[in-house]
Structure 1
């Protein structure tokens, strides 16, 4: 996975579609990131925090019982065991260090399922920065635990009541607020979306997942490279980071979307939150509402690099529905003793459905990224479990 073109494009997608007042801020972030990413001191400090604070490397766990049931060799990349409970901490630590390097004193973020918000609040506390998190009112209701965690960490959580009151609307509000305080504030965007350089920068901060997975898979598998690499996708940061370690190999890459938020399956080219990609739209070209049982995957678009990889045919994008996701959560919990996030369960659900078919032949080796743990989803699971 390469650097985007000079104007931040992955093929037809990406770019920088923001108000004129934000163009200098985006350019400053790009310049600062390029400088920091080439600085061994910055990279060393990030690596140190990822190790002693975030708990990297995260392990790769053989799903022995589920593998026997499905007839495939399934390996789970355990991002659920990272500090704060998901892969989000990888990107947030990088952006928080970058913000401090740029002289910013305040972080703002959008969040859906709350994991990115918790990670941002965590990094802000660690580095002594102010933090405000924007979250859709609907998501606040279904992610009460994460809202409390953010407040415990010292962050202000602002409910967004406009639109569908979910992640899309939280992004809108965060970008509006960024315009008003760009001098002292860094927008810590949580996925591989937004205006350039965010899709590229976030992928690079998440690349650690794929690089670790590549080495761990080589140790675990006689063949070295798995047949399939699978990850769930909303905006797509955990998948982008995972795929970065395997895109140059023969592994088949599979991204799993929520059926009600499947931008790759049902979206058309459009612009949302400062970038061009495949976006769910109505007949008038307006951004359509997405649905998922997971608060983290009901996003109406997908990261521009994912759209490009899909057009190239390098990654196959598939969908699963809410019922399959709930079944996957329960089956993984009871077969392996691992309670994963509803987002991650989308990837598990596809493996369960496809195993033994032409999509995923018996005997295949599979690396699957468990992007987060399921603690935050207890209220939803209780509501849907009889």
Structure 2
């Protein structure tokens, strides 16, 4: 893949880069207006975009950051290729098509002009039109390769394929696992521990389809995919999760669910034999469990430290399985942190994972670190690891939902 799909002239590059300060100030305002306009003009796209993230403002913020990064590096898009590939993985999982990019471009340019008014001169709009075409070509090229790759895997497919729920297991008061096998009885492609699938939920009385991405919570190599879904209950001003409630309450053993093939770039590096540290908060344990189950199968001599934080034992999913692994595999050490334990709970620390406690249990030699959980948890873990002296190259994490910067 190359970003040299089209060359931009120096004047266009200079104009786009000159808009960086404006994007820093008005980026989120522009992207909010963009989504409003796009959904007015193309309401069918509500079948793709997560409307909860729209209401919360997470998606406009993530897009604003992506546009800002593109403007900063418009003369060297290789710099943002890692971010492009991460977004492209999500696009492939959501079945985004090349013909949808011009729709995005048209509405983004309108939003820039609408928000900035006379400050958005014809030169600026024309420069951004040319820049967007180049950026879109990069995404389309990367995604084309991804579609071809998954299509060519044994059992691979593009789009959505019906899977049957062959088992439904309650893991905690809020998390339930769904075991999925293809309805056509065919083969399923392998995946890498840490990847996710997209569930396509068609819910009665809901005007649009809902797409949600869930990590695969078991090791690859089985004849099923497993997802473990947290039921998002209504809290304060936040309504209950539409899809999580649908899965928990309406999907039974024998139900059919359309899903996309596994995707994602947050994956365990199995060529690394150094100690492995897995940190999870709440439902962030789902990709961690896939990694843990894989390590004990594929790297049975690799030291593993698994640290999980949640409210208490009622909310702690798969605790028995982790305890079983730690008991049967001497190289695996597990720790549990509860911030609101109840009577009868067994745990290693009450409260939260703070630096002093974490530093006391981490391996002193070089190690690889993977973590996932709520954003507040992830920001804290990142800062703890940096304080511990871990290099960014050894820190790996997955954010559920739109991209965000947890390093600030």
TM-score of the superposition, structure 1-length normalised? Answer: 0.31
Q: Which has the higher contact order (CA 8 A, sep 6+)?
A: 1
TM-score of the superposition, structure 2-length normalised? Answer: 0.30
